[in-house]
A and B are shown apart, each in its own frame.
Chain A
Amino acid sequence: MKTRPILIAAGAAITMFALAGCVPNNASTTDAAAAITVDSSATDCTVSAGTATSGTLKFSVTNSGDQVTEFYLLAEDGLRIVGEVENVGPGISRDLVVQAQPGDYFTVCKPGMVGDGIGRSSFTVTGDKVQLAGDVQEQVDQAAVNYVAYVKDQVGQLVTGTQAFVDAFVSDTPSPDGKTAAELYATTRANYERIEPVAESFGDLDPAIDFREADVPAEDEWTGWHRIEKDLFPPTADENGGTEYVPLTAEERTYYADKLVSDTQLLYDAVNDPDYTVSIDAIANGAIGLLEEVASGKITGEEEIWSHTDLWDFQANLEGAKVAYEGVRDIVETKDPDLVKTLDERFASLQDTLAEYGSLNSGFTYYDELTTDQVKQLADGVNALSEPLSQLTATLVG
């Protein structure tokens, strides 16, 4: 429910072509111990060595010029980019870590970030061929297509579900399938929670749809799911900071219902925009981000403080993370099979633990009915998965 536009924006900066040349994370890293230094000045691009042995190479790029610079490792044709670092401010150092096959390359710096760059030098990698995946570009493209389709499907279901939910909420009578708004609340939200990082990438939408009361600045309006949650699961005066909770009027209910529907429609429009795409690292970061949501909001019971339906959100976050992970799993497996094995096991293990408390179909134990030990057990499972999962993006693009 928190804004993290950074997540997706940062991901977008990683360019796809880096994949072509960069692979196993588990390869011996001893080769990388001796970093190759690159000095990018106003007039030159001095690389400390012109040759290296195949495997993991680390270029430590220092910008000694007075303009923002970039450093590229180019393939034999002088065009294809094997690896790059960008946005290196004057005086700043940054590393480029790549997996390099034997062959001929070029190094070049681009102070000012325009033109063909300067100081282009040949760079030779000797030694044995490093085990590389095949052509992953096709897999990468397919993963992005699949994930966009998943997002559209979830948001489509969310639009339908939200309408049914607010109808029940506004009329205060059961929905066509006989469920009340309070019953529909947690299950309808699952479609949102599965793709939450996507909604967060659109800036204003997540605050309007999913902010908790405490997230909202004093003078700002509080709208969305949790505003309605508070009315459906009204707090006692004690839980409400000492003041009696005043239920929403019929007009107010209609207002918040309409706003939720229209904000959800905006999300639908955004992901159905023909230009809407996701990058491979955004998918991976989305999986990581969903587990972070679990760790910071659900496992603490802070997300659903009135309804206590945190485990529904937990399940949906986990499912969304699993889908995102599965989408890139085969690519990651070619690079780091051990990581995939660990992640497979820990996703399954966490799902098993969570299943002890229910399912989206049959409902879960309410957060406030969990014992401290049970919460700890769930938190340990989240940590066990999150820690290796945090390596996903770097493995994928590295």
Chain B
Amino acid sequence: MSEHEPSPEQPDTSTPAPAPAKTGISRRGLFGLAGAGIVGAGVGAALDRFVLPPSASAQENAAVYPFFGPNQSGITTPAQDRLHFASFDVADITRDELVGLLQDWSAAAALMTQGKQAGTYGAVGGPYDAPPDDTGEALDLPASGLTITFGFGPTLFTDSSGADRFGIAADRPAALVDLPHFPADMLQDTLSGGDLCIQACSDDPQVAVHAIRNLSRIAFGRASIRWSQLGFGRTSSTSRAQQTPRNLFGFKDGTANIKSEDTGVVDDQVWASKADGAAWMAGGSYLVARKIRMTIETWDRTSLREQERIIGRTKGEGAPYSGGTEFSEPDFAATGQGGAPLIDEAAHVRLSHPDQNAGAQLLRRGYNFVDGNDDLGRLNAGLFFIAYQRDPRTQFIPIQMNLAKNDAMNEYIRHVGSGIFAVPPGAASGSYVGATLFGG
């Protein structure tokens, strides 16, 4: 919460707090201003409830994560509750213009992630006859843990006709492969691919949308949105401090996720290193996004017995079927009646476990979505899967190939969208994301 906010004991004051400077107005500053205005209006008893949100959410929304640093934020950052993800196609522009876009994006992201407005003049200042720099819907809102993470798709390096538009084809990391066709993939071109991507995560949906909206506005003429996705609830925890959330199947998701506290695992499985080949990617990571539609209507008609067998965990506690509690390590050798494995051979928890995948792990950061409904009156619902990793060739691809062939869950899901992006290291203070590739 803001330092401008009146404490409950503060008496009515008819003088608003001093207005902050016109440039670089902090949204948090404005929040305080609005609060003072209400006091001035003499709302009285309603005041406390209005300006003092429950402390828990206030704490969370107060989170501010740095934009500059060795790694981009939004990867090991404790998963925020909301997502707005967008994939962009770059227009027919020069390398310098592309670099200009990346610089502008980083500059705006550096402001917005700190709870400030985009642009020189923000949302309510600047020339009176010009539209405001910032679109304004995040005024009065705190930073809300906003992180903005940029990625480069394979087609940025080599487009579909094989052209090297920006002179970077030779720098394409070997790990940035085109994903293969997985069994039962039903990918739609309009939900897949892209030259660039932005992942905006926040604890407030409006703050995440504000970020994508302003960044896409900045890009007009240089890049345009190819597809985008809103996520309303995180399905993974990336920190031990977080409770494991549930996906739309009603099961806990991400129990065995890589957690930011496991720095050894993070270094081994998430961050690309110089030795991996592309030196400019050192400290970066590879993002795979999959839009996974869940046929929740048929799932909901499935017995608890079958649901739990498919997952391999209990629905309530999330304990592996071999016993214990949520965080107990599954025992895949444990058998029950008739010598059959307690955790089914086709159970999701078995097939996705590192033991079944040569030790490969993913840092998952997925979100639940419901995009209205389809023509059949079913909720267009599912999981927008996001995973970060050091090398998709040894991580996402073999894991997903195994799942796509064998996972009992496949009956209830279909992959309809897909994207893979190289996520560069973070920008040094004042620099931009992508500088390690493009220079400057």
B190 CB to nearest chain A CB (Å): 15
Q: Which of B306-343 contact A (CB under 8 A)?
A: 306, 309-310, 314, 316-317, 319-325, 328, 334-337, 342
A334 interface contact, C-beta 8 A:
no
Contact of A6 among B300, B306, B314, B328 (CB under 8 A): B306
Please, how many angstroms separate the alpha-carbon atoms of A244 and B342 in the complex?
A: 48
What's the A-B contact tally at a CB cutoff of 8 Å?
116
A376/B346 in contact, CB under 8 A: no
A362 interface contact, C-beta 8 A:
no
Contact of A375 among B301, B302, B375 (CB under 8 A): B375
B377 interface contact, C-beta 8 A:
yes
A90 cross-chain contacts in B, Cβ below 8 A: 322-324
A271 cross-chain contacts in B, Cβ below 8 A: none
Please give me the residue from chain A that is nearest to B310 by CB atom. Answer: A6
B410 cross-chain contacts in A, Cβ below 8 A: 2-3
Q: Which of B391-430 contact A (CB under 8 A)?
A: 401, 404-405, 408, 410-411
Number of interface residues of A (CB under 8 A): 46
**Chain B 31-67 per-residue mask, 1 if CB under 8 angstroms from chain A, else 0:** 0000000000000000000000000000000000000
A217/B182 in contact, CB under 8 A: yes
B378 cross-chain contacts in A, Cβ below 8 A: 379
B336/A113 in contact, CB under 8 A: yes
Please give me the residue from chain A that is nearest to B326 by CB atom. Answer: A91
B389 CB to nearest chain A CB (Å): 21
A292/B301 in contact, CB under 8 A: yes
B298 cross-chain contacts in A, Cβ below 8 A: 292, 295-296, 386
Interface of B is mostly: loop
Q: Which of A356-390 contact B (CB under 8 A)?
A: 372, 375-376, 379-380, 383, 386-387, 389-390
B186 interface contact, C-beta 8 A:
yes
B60 CB to nearest chain A CB (Å): 31
**Chain A 50-74 per-residue mask, 1 if CB under 8 angstroms from chain B, else 0:** 0000000000000100001010000
Please, how many angstroms separate the alpha-carbon atoms of A9 and B310 in the complex?
A: 12
Known contacts A92-B314, A217-B405, A386 near B334 by CB under 8 Å = no
B342/A214 in contact, CB under 8 A: no
A162 CB to nearest chain B CB (Å): 25
A90 CB to nearest chain B CB (Å): 3
A139 interface contact, C-beta 8 A:
no
Q: Which of A25-66 contact B (CB under 8 A)?
A: 63
**Chain B 373-396 per-residue mask, 1 if CB under 8 angstroms from chain A, else 0:** 001111000000000000000000
A218 interface contact, C-beta 8 A:
yes
A158 interface contact, C-beta 8 A:
no
A339 CB to nearest chain B CB (Å): 14
Please give me the residue from chain B that is nearest to A91 by CB atom. Answer: B324
A13 cross-chain contacts in B, Cβ below 8 A: 305, 337
B295/A295 in contact, CB under 8 A: yes
B344 interface contact, C-beta 8 A:
yes
A299 CB to nearest chain B CB (Å): 6
B185 interface contact, C-beta 8 A:
yes
A89/B321 in contact, CB under 8 A: yes
Query: For the side of the interface on B, what is the size category?
Result: 35 or more
Known contacts A90-B324, A379-B377, A380-B377, A217 near B401 by CB under 8 Å = yes
B262 interface contact, C-beta 8 A:
no
Known contacts A217-B183, A295-B295, A379-B377, A113 near B337 by CB under 8 Å = yes
B237 CB to nearest chain A CB (Å): 21
B375/A2 in contact, CB under 8 A: no
A288 interface contact, C-beta 8 A:
yes
Contact of B342 among A6, A68, A93, A215 (CB under 8 A): A68
A292 cross-chain contacts in B, Cβ below 8 A: 298, 301, 411
Please, how many angstroms separate the alpha-carbon atoms of A88 and B336 in the complex?
A: 8
Please give me the residue from chain B that is nearest to A379 by CB atom. Answer: B376
B321/A215 in contact, CB under 8 A: no
B297/A295 in contact, CB under 8 A: yes
Please, how many angstroms separate the alpha-carbon atoms of A217 and B404 in the complex?
A: 8
Known contacts A217-B182, A386-B298, A393-B303, A86 near B376 by CB under 8 Å = no
B186/A214 in contact, CB under 8 A: yes
B324 cross-chain contacts in A, Cβ below 8 A: 89-92
A214/B377 in contact, CB under 8 A: no
Please, how many angstroms separate the alpha-carbon atoms of A390 and B297 in the complex?
A: 11
B404 CB to nearest chain A CB (Å): 7
B346/A383 in contact, CB under 8 A: no
B174 interface contact, C-beta 8 A:
no
B305/A376 in contact, CB under 8 A: no
A89/B184 in contact, CB under 8 A: no
A14 CB to nearest chain B CB (Å): 8
Q: Which of A5-25 contact B (CB under 8 A)?
A: 5-7, 9-10, 13
A216 interface contact, C-beta 8 A:
yes
A218/B181 in contact, CB under 8 A: yes
B8 CB to nearest chain A CB (Å): 44
Q: Which residues of B contact A (CB under 8 A)?
A: 180-186, 295, 297-298, 300-303, 305-306, 309-310, 314, 316-317, 319-325, 328, 334-337, 342, 344, 346, 375-378, 401, 404-405, 408, 410-411
Q: Which 5 pairs, one residue from A and one from B, show the smallest C-beta to C-beta distance?
A: A89-B323, A390-B301, A90-B323, A87-B336, A379-B376
Q: Which residues of A contact B (CB under 8 A)?
A: 2-7, 9-10, 13, 63, 68, 70, 86-87, 89-94, 113, 214-218, 220, 288, 292, 295-296, 299-300, 302, 372, 375-376, 379-380, 383, 386-387, 389-390, 393-394
